[in-house]
């Protein structure tokens, strides 16, 4: 019997390649002297009118093949003169705006593409960029949520108040519920911007074949099918003329789901126009100022609760900074507004938000995608309630949990995919018990007192989240058993290092009964699977995993049917082990899957010994058509998975920190995670996802920010000043415990795991640092994240500062 691979820590098949430098990324494609290289003239101003662009100096530069501004675009491909697509329209997004591939008349952030140069190499292209003269009339910039709300100046003249969208959802009369609550609190919170910062930035290579009139595009993207559709539309090509291939991708974390980037269209356009392969590889500075950021929000919370800390009314209002344009719609603030609820069930909830324009880089999903902000709002509220009631923070949370027997639980809201926010399964009380045991919650007060006696400040924090994963609409898969017995699997969504080639092969090996090393997985190649959505929202395992499982099942059904005919036995008596179909209990009566594949495809021509067996004088009943009605040649299975709604993973994090009484440095002593993503396909890969997420969370909570000055210049646009944590800043060990509450929505009972590790970070660190500081400064309250030692020092200087404004019931 083959050992089942689902649930086992199978080594990643990708790692030999990646760790030995054999990964093949977009920049590794078309490395030859004929390839041309692109560079972009970018706006140095946050807000300006373009008065004139003079490219004449570039024309004399040897090695330059093209220099384009907005005025050139219409002549090259009519749709290129239109704004870039607004990918996810929403009725509340009344004032959605997108940029042009090259700025037309106005620029709205430092880094916006103004002109495009193609040259022999990137060196010459950058020389040319330096020679393009752009006259700007500088306009007043709008930087930061406060300035956007004040609306003294407008980002877009035709967007009053800088408000792109206003949206409200509610489950009842929150004002009445607040008025009736025994206790009320208000909190005002802020979260700063950060960004995905994959090691590999954006990149696109395109090659036009003049003989076949076809375009081949390689792009470092999280959606090859999306890029394909966008390129076809914008270049005026039929979809069938465009192939998009996503090779190895050096990290995405969300930023590469936005598409098409200006360069993703301009590179194919240049390839077609110039008849040469063209490459654009983004550099780090460009990634900082011309890709996307996330996270920045200001939040106001009013909460009413009883003596046990139960939420009777929760009223949240927040302001979301979406940057200069809205290509990805309202996904991030909608997720904040809905996922804020976490594992809790307030009696009445209302949320209102404004999504605001600022003259800064666009905001699109970054791992967590609005959830870290929502978790921060909710969990800081829980901490404030516990503090107010002088109750244990874990106890107050437990009092508000949805109970295991209440699933499916409808929160009464509409989620980011336009469907009901209905949790499918979970066991939050069990998670909390595991977490308390893992971190030593109940023993902590004694430890804290002991440390305090020695003049040391240690604190503990706790935060819970629920994450809607695996949103639709669908993913598909194709499984092909070749005559060699090898299994080729294709799914359309892309991979950015998660280990898809491993986990998908595990699923196929289990279902088909083949050896895992005989399974090869291809992702993100529109030639192999033209129908797909993309890799985002922790959906790859749920969506493609389920589709692959179903496709493998279909292939297996067909294999058993053909094998049963060949062996003249009942197919119910057959099993497949290590690629051999045999009668259960009688292994002598068997046939290789490869031979079954031969038999599945009636042949006229023989190419080798194996295929002889399938030729017309060898097989088939002369009285029947070689391929029966309703059947197809080949041993393949294809299927799609399209769930009615997302599946809701959950988890809880706790951290113990120590703060230095003198230098305000913050040290992580212990980090504990309890994680529930349903059935685990590969626990090692899930734990890797958690490790990476926690690392990014540490960055977001303690190190990273986008330091814009008042004029809209990003002051820290390099890895020297934008502080991603090194391994030295990450906890030495992360204690992980799993809970497996299966999802009833998919055949494997799985839930997404990609984003979870990062969601509670701002909340859990704010809580722990505050707890540590209160050893000495009982009123110190943290309301702004991330927090640096310098900021903690400043908070101490301002001590005692006001607590969240309290209102006793009058």
Partner 1 sequence: MKPAPFDYHRPGSLAEALAILAGEPGAKVLAGGQSLVPLLSMRLAAPAALVDINGLPDLDAVTVTDDGVRVGALARHADVLASTAAAERQPLLGMALAHVAHATIRNRGTTVGSLVHADAASELPVVLRLLGGSVDVASVGGTRTIAADDLYLGPLESSVAPDEIATSAWFPALEPGAGVAFDEVARRHGDYALCGVAAVVRVEGDRVVSARAGFVSVADLPTVVDVTDALTTVDAAALADLGDVVLPHLDPADDVHATADYRAQLVRVLTARVVGTAYDRARERGTAR
Q: Give phi and psi for 730, each to the nearest 5.
A: -95, 145
Between 586 and 663, whose beta carbon lies closer to partner 1? Answer: 663
Q: Can you spell out the DSSP letters for 248-311?
A: --S--TTGGGS---HHHHHHHHHHHHHTS-EEEE--HHHHHHHS-BB--EEEEEEEEE-TT--E
Task: Mark 189-225 as b/e (b = at least 16 C-beta within 10 Å).
Answer: bbbbbbbbbbebbbbbbbbbeeeeeebbbbbbbbbbb
Interface residue with partner 1 among 721, 779, 805, 809 (CB under 8 A) is 721
Q: Give phi and psi for 662, each to the nearest 5.
A: -100, -50
Q: How far apart are CA 399 and CA 395, in angstroms?
A: 6
Between 573 and 729, whose beta carbon lies closer to partner 1? Answer: 729
Give min distance, CB of 687 to partner 1, in A.
24
351: nearest Cα among 314, 303, 383: 314
Q: Is 456 in the site for partner 1 (CB under 8 A)?
A: no
| Host H or E run for residue 147 | helix 145-150
Q: Is 212 in the site for partner 1 (CB under 8 A)?
A: no
Interface residue with partner 1 among 17, 285, 419, 774 (CB under 8 A) is 285
Interface residue with partner 1 among 715, 800, 805, 807 (CB under 8 A) is 715
Considering only 209-217, 348-356, 386-394, 789-797, which stretch makes contact with partner 1 by CB under 8 A? Answer: 789-797
Give min distance, CB of 721 to partner 1, in A.
6
Q: Is 11 in the site for partner 1 (CB under 8 A)?
A: no
- Is residue 235 within 8 Å of 272, Cβ to Cβ? yes
Q: Is 711 in the site for partner 1 (CB under 8 A)?
A: no
Give min distance, CB of 779 to partner 1, in A.
21
* Cβ-proximal residues to 489 (8 Å cutoff; 6+ apart), any chain: 477, 478, 479, 480, 504, 505, 508, 519, 520, 521, 522, 548, 551, 552
Considering only 256-264, 268-276, 392-400, 699-707, which stretch makes contact with partner 1 by CB under 8 A? Answer: 699-707
Between 283 and 450, whose beta carbon lies closer to partner 1? Answer: 283
Considering only 169-177, 358-366, 721-729, 755-763, which stretch makes contact with partner 1 by CB under 8 A? Answer: 721-729
Q: How far apart are CA 148 and CA 319, in angstroms?
A: 10
Between 511 and 658, whose beta carbon lies closer to partner 1? Answer: 658
Interface residue with partner 1 among 429, 602, 634, 725 (CB under 8 A) is 725
Q: Is 619 in the site for partner 1 (CB under 8 A)?
A: no
- Is residue 654 within 8 Å of 438, Cβ to Cβ? yes
Going by their DSSP bridges, the two strands 457-469 and 647-659 should be labelled as: antiparallel
According to DSSP, the residues that pair with 34 across neighbouring strands are none
Q: Is 703 in the site for partner 1 (CB under 8 A)?
A: yes
Which positions from 546 to 575 touch partner 1 by CB under 8 A, shown as an x/- string? ------------------------------
Between 122 and 456, whose beta carbon lies closer to partner 1? Answer: 122
Give min distance, CB of 130 to partner 1, in A.
7
Q: Is 728 in the site for partner 1 (CB under 8 A)?
A: yes
Between 566 and 784, whose beta carbon lies closer to partner 1? Answer: 784
106: nearest Cα among 73, 155, 58: 155
Decide: residue 703, CB within 10 A, 0-12 exposed, 13-18 middle, 19+ buried.
middle
Which two tokens mark 222? Answer: 């999280």
Q: How far apart are CA 580 and CA 593, in angstroms?
A: 6
Q: Can you spell out the DSSP letters for 305-327?
A: E-TT--EEEEEEEEEEE--S--T
Which two tokens mark 518? Answer: 């005989």
Considering only 327-335, 386-394, 567-575, 714-722, which stretch makes contact with partner 1 by CB under 8 A? Answer: 714-722
Query: Count of residues binding partner 1 (CB under 8 A)?
Result: 31
Q: Is 794 in the site for partner 1 (CB under 8 A)?
A: yes
Q: Is 707 in the site for partner 1 (CB under 8 A)?
A: yes
Q: Is 179 in the site for partner 1 (CB under 8 A)?
A: no
Which positions from 90 to 129 touch partner 1 by CB under 8 A, shown as an x/- string? --------------------------------xx--xx--
Interface residue with partner 1 among 209, 283, 644, 779 (CB under 8 A) is 283
Between 642 and 790, whose beta carbon lies closer to partner 1? Answer: 790
- For residue 208, the SS3 value is strand
Between 718 and 807, whose beta carbon lies closer to partner 1? Answer: 718
Give min distance, CB of 320 to partner 1, in A.
23
| CA distance from start to end of the chain | 71
Between 44 and 749, whose beta carbon lies closer to partner 1? Answer: 44
Query: HSE of 770 in the Cβ direction (CA atoms, 13 Å)?
Result: 23
Residue 182 gets which letter from DSSP? Answer: S
Q: Give phi and psi for 715, each to the nearest 5.
A: -80, -15
| Host H or E run for residue 42 | strand 36-42
Considering only 394-402, 547-555, 723-731, 738-746, which stretch makes contact with partner 1 by CB under 8 A? Answer: 723-731
Residue 541 gets which letter from DSSP? Answer: I
Interface residue with partner 1 among 78, 790, 801, 807 (CB under 8 A) is 790
Give min distance, CB of 194 to partner 1, in A.
14
Q: Is 447 in the site for partner 1 (CB under 8 A)?
A: no
Q: Is 284 in the site for partner 1 (CB under 8 A)?
A: yes
Q: How far apart are CA 649 and CA 425, in angstroms?
A: 8
Between 797 and 810, whose beta carbon lies closer to partner 1? Answer: 797
Which positions from 231 to 270 touch partner 1 by CB under 8 A, shown as an x/- string? ----------------------------------------
Which positions from 659 to 698 touch partner 1 by CB under 8 A, shown as an x/- string? ---xxxx---------------------------------
Between 98 and 716, whose beta carbon lies closer to partner 1? Answer: 716
Q: Can you point out the beta strands (E) in 584-663?
A: 586-592, 636-641, 647-659
Task: Mark 399-414 as b/e (b = at least 16 C-beta within 10 Å).
Answer: bbbbeeeebebebbbe
Q: Is 740 in the site for partner 1 (CB under 8 A)?
A: no
Q: Give phi and psi for 473, each to the nearest 5.
A: -75, -35
What is the binding site for partner 1 (CB under 8 A)? Answer: 122-123, 126-127, 130, 283-285, 662-665, 703, 705, 707, 715-716, 718, 720-721, 723, 725-726, 728-729, 788-790, 793-794, 797
């Amino acid at each position: 019997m083959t050992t089942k691979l689902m649930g086992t820590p199978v080594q990643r098949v990708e790692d030999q390649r990646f760790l030995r430098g054999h990964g093949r990324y977009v920049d590794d494609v078309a490395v030859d002297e004929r390839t041309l290289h692109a560079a972009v003239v970018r706006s140095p101003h946050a807000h300006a009118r373009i008065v004139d662009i003079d490219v004449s100096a570039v024309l004399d530069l040897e090695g330059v093949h093209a220099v384009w501004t907005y005025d050139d675009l219409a002549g090259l491909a009519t749709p290129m003169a239109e704004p870039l697509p607004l990918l996810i329209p929403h009725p509340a997004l009344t004032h959605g705006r997108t940029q042009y591939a090259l700025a037309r008349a106005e620029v709205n952030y430092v880094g916006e593409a103004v002109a495009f140069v193609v040259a022999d190499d990137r060196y010459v292209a950058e020389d040319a960029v330096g020679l393009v003269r752009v006259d700007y009339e500088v306009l007043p910039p709008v930087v930061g949520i406060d300035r956007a709300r004040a609306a003294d100046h407008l980002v877009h003249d035709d967007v009053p108040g800088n408000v792109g969208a206003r949206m409200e959802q509610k489950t009842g009369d929150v004002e009445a519920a607040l008025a009736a609550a025994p206790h009320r609190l208000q909190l005002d919170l802020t979260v700063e911007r950060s960004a995905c910062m994959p090691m590999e930035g954006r990149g696109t290579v395109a090659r036009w074949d003049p003989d076949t009139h076809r375009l081949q595009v390689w792009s470092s993207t999280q959606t090859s099918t999306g890029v394909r559709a966008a390129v076809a539309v914008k270049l005026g090509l039929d979809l069938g003329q465009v192939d998009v291939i996503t090779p190895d991708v050096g990290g995405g974390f969300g930023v590469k789901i936005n598409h098409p980037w200006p360069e993703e269209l301009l590179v194919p356009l240049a390839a077609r126009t110039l008849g040469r392969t063209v490459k654009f590889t983004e550099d780090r500075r460009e990634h900082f100022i011309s890709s996307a950021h996330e996270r920045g929000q200001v939040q106001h919370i009013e909460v009413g609760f009883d003596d046990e800390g139960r939420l009777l009314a929760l009223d949240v209002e927040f302001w979301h900074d979406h940057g200069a344009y809205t290509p990805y719609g309202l996904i991030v603030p909608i997720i904040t507004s809905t996922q804020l609820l976490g594992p809790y069930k307030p009696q009445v909830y209302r949320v209102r938000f404004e999504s605001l324009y600022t003259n800064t880089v666009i905001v699109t999903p970054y791992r967590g995608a609005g959830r870290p902000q929502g978790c921060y709002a909710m969990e800081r509220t829980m901490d404030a309630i516990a503090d107010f009631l002088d109750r244990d923070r874990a106890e107050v949370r437990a009092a508000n949990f949805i109970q295991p027997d209440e699933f499916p639980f409808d929160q009464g809201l509409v989620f980011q995919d336009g469907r009901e926010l209905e949790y499918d399964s979970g066991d939050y009380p069990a998670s909390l018990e595991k977490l308390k045991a893992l971190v030593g919650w109940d023993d902590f007060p004694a430890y804290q007192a002991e440390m305090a006696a020695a003049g040391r400040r240690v604190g503990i924090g706790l935060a819970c989240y629920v994450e809607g994963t695996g949103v639709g609409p669908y993913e598909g898969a194709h499984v092909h058993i070749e005559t060699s017995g090898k299994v080729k699997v294709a799914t359309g969504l892309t991979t950015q290092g998660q280990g898809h080639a491993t986990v998908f092969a595990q699923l196929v090996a289990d279902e088909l009964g083949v050896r895992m090393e005989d399974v090869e997985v291809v992702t993100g190649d529109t030639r192999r699977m033209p129908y797909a959505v993309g890799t985002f929202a922790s959906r790859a395992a749920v969506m493609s995993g389920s589709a692959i499982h179903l496709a493998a099942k279909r292939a297996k059904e067909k294999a058993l049917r053909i094998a049963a005919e060949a062996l003249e036995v009942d197919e119910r008596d057959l099993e497949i082990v290590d690629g051999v179909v045999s009668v259960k209990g009688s292994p002598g009566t068997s046939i290789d899957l490869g031979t079954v594949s031969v038999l599945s495809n009636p042949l006229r021509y023989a190419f080798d010994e194996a295929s002889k067996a399938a030729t017309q004088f060898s097989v088939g009943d002369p009285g029947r058509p070689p391929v029966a009605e309703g059947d197809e040649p080949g041993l393949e299975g294809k299927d799609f998975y399209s769930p009615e709604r997302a599946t809701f993973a959950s988890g809880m994090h706790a951290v113990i920190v120590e703060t230095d009484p003198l230098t305000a440095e913050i040290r992580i002593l212990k980090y504990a995670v309890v994680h529930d993503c349903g059935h685990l396909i590969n626990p090692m890969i899930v734990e890797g996802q958690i490790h990476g997420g926690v690392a990014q969370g540490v960055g977001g909570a303690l190190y990273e920010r986008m330091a814009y000055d008042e004029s809209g210049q990003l002051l820290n646009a390099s890895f020297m000043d934008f502080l991603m944590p090194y391994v030295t800043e990450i906890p030495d060990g992360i204690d992980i415990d799993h809970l497996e509450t299966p999802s009833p929505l998919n055949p494997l009972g799985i839930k997404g795991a990609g984003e979870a590790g990062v969601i509670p970070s701002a909340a859990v660190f704010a809580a722990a640092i505050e707890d540590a500081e209160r050893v000495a400064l009982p009123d110190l309250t943290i309301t702004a994240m991330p927090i640096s030692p310098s900021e903690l020092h400043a908070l101490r200087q301002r001590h005692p500062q006001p607590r969240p404004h309290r209102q006793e019931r009058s």
